[in-house]
Amino acid sequence: MDMPSWQDQKLGTMKRAALWLVAEVGEGNVFTKSQLRDAFPDTSQIDRRMRDLRDFGWQIATNREDPELEAHEQRFVLQGIPVWEPGKSTRPSTAISATQRREIISRDGYICRSCGISTGESYEGSHELVQLDIARREVLQPDGSTAVELVTECKRCRVGGRGLVADLPAVIEGVQDLGAYEKKLLAGWIAADRRELSALEQLWAHYRSLPGASRDKVRKVLESNEG
């Protein structure tokens, strides 16, 4: 599908900001506040519209999440839902009630469905407490279409910048604590530079990251095949 131009004035500001990121900045690259203002000179709320994109799975890091950035810089980490496509940009803040929010987080077991961290924990190597939020996730459906479903995600996963600080000593310590069999298994994965997951484990990992409505569908398929 052809992408519309970010300069198309008929589109809303959030959509144009998303298109600008893709067309002019590119994933992984840094942009400055003045570049953004120059691109959208008539829009006073451009920073807010840019932040709104995070509700649609877009990861845009500031210097809070990415210490390499200066205060006037942001990094376009990852593209999210293509909000310029029809029906994909319903505002989540107005669409999700407080009750719905509680229900979704409870159904998701109070864990971030992207990294598995749970509420009340702090991130490894920091005192920052986990805050859970609702994200929209595009889920490929059995009929080939995509649906946008709500899922619990922690603030870090939503913003991007997760895993920026790697902890080598912790990994080495963990390796030293392994038994002989586990060490051999790990050495095999390292040599192949990939972990051979069993089909069951792969299914489990995929199942676990699905939003609640989709997890229910999988459960129903299993139940209908039982006995």
CB atoms within 10 A of CB 157: 22
> Nearer to Zn ion by C-beta: 84 or 161?
161
134 binds Zn ion (CB under 5 A): no
Which residues inside 168-227 make contact with Zn ion, applying CB under 5 A? none
The DSSP output letter for 28 is T
Q: Does 112 bind Zn ion (CB under 5 A)?
A: yes
Q: Based on CB atoms, which residue is closest to Zn ion, 84 or 92? A: 92
Residue nearer to Zn ion on the CB measure, 77 or 154: 154
The DSSP output letter for 184 is H
Q: At its nearest, how many Å lie between Zn ion and the CB of residue 135?
A: 10
Taking the complex as a whole, how short is the minimal distance between the CB of residue 115 and Zn ion, in angstroms?
3
* Cα–Cα separations (whole angstroms), residue 25 to 1, 6, 17, 33, 73: 20, 12, 11, 12, 12
Smallest distance, Å, CB 111 to Zn ion?
Answer: 8
What token pair was written down for 216?
A: 């229910």
Within 58-77, which residues bind Zn ion (CB under 5 A)? none
Interface pick for Zn ion out of 13, 74, 89, 114 (rule CB under 5 A) = 114
Whether residue 59 contacts residue 78, with contact meaning beta carbons closer than 8 Å, is answered with yes
Element (H, E) at 77: strand 73-78
Total residues at interface with Zn ion (CB under 5 A): 5
If you search the block for the tokens 């995600």, which residue do you land on? 153
DSSP sequence for 92-153: HHHH--HHHHHHHHHHTTTB-TTT--BTT-B-TTS-PBP-EEEEEEEEE-TTS-EEEEEEEE
Cβ distance to Zn ion smaller for residue 209 or 214: 209
Regarding 53 and contact with Zn ion (CB under 5 A), the answer is no
Site map for Zn ion, 141-160, x if CB under 5 A?
-------------x--x---
- Positions touching Zn ion (CB under 5 A) are 112, 114-115, 154, 157
